[in-house]
Amino acid sequence: MSERNTWIRSLHDLGLAAWFGGSLMGAVGLNGAAREEGGTGQARARIASSGWAKWAPVSAAAIGAHLFGGGGLLAANTHRVAAQKGVAASTTAKTLVTAGALAATAYARILGKKVELASSSDPRDVEKAEQHPMDVDRARRQLAYAQWALPALTGCLVVLNALHGEQQRPGEQLHGVWERARSATPFLP
């Protein structure tokens, strides 16, 4: 019998929704608006960097909520992960994709900070950028890929989340536990 985990599930799902939606809106809307309105390359980078920097704390909170909720759901469902066939595999896949999305998020933030410093008109930022020389065009290209990787990876998490929801149906649980038992005991029909 399943128990309710409304608060944990809400943290998990709302965090993922904000992580996915924010990354997709940023890649499409914010970067697109910066391209249209920015004029010069430096102005475009400054506009996009400003928007992404404003989103960063919200994104961090969303990711934290998703991870906290995911940990809570894993703790609440350890029996299903162990006993129901297919749940351990989908949980492993979800963990690996989450790790990839976290890495892409961190990498995008590092590259974004480099581009932000290089495009800033603040003398302190210019000085920091000069202390850490980089190829800004290369950083921008890598950033573009990382920013599109985020909605792709978090979108995969949404799909895996839907799979977990389907696996939680009573009929699926019964079938999965039976199949796990059958595979562990070859003499069962």
pLDDT tier at 168 (50, 70, 90 boundaries)? confident
Give the model confidence (pLDDT) of 41-75 as tens digits. 888 888 888 899 999 999 999 999 999 999 999 99
Comparing CA positions, the residue from 114, 133, 131, 99 lying closest to residue 53 is 114
What ranges do the domains of the chain cover?
6-179
Quote the pLDDT of residue 1: 43
Comparing CA positions, the residue from 115, 179, 188, 186 lying closest to residue 146 is 115
Lowest mean pLDDT among 7-16, 46-55, 176-185: 176-185
The structure's pTM equals 0.81
Counts for the chain of helices (H) and strands (E), in that order? 8, 0
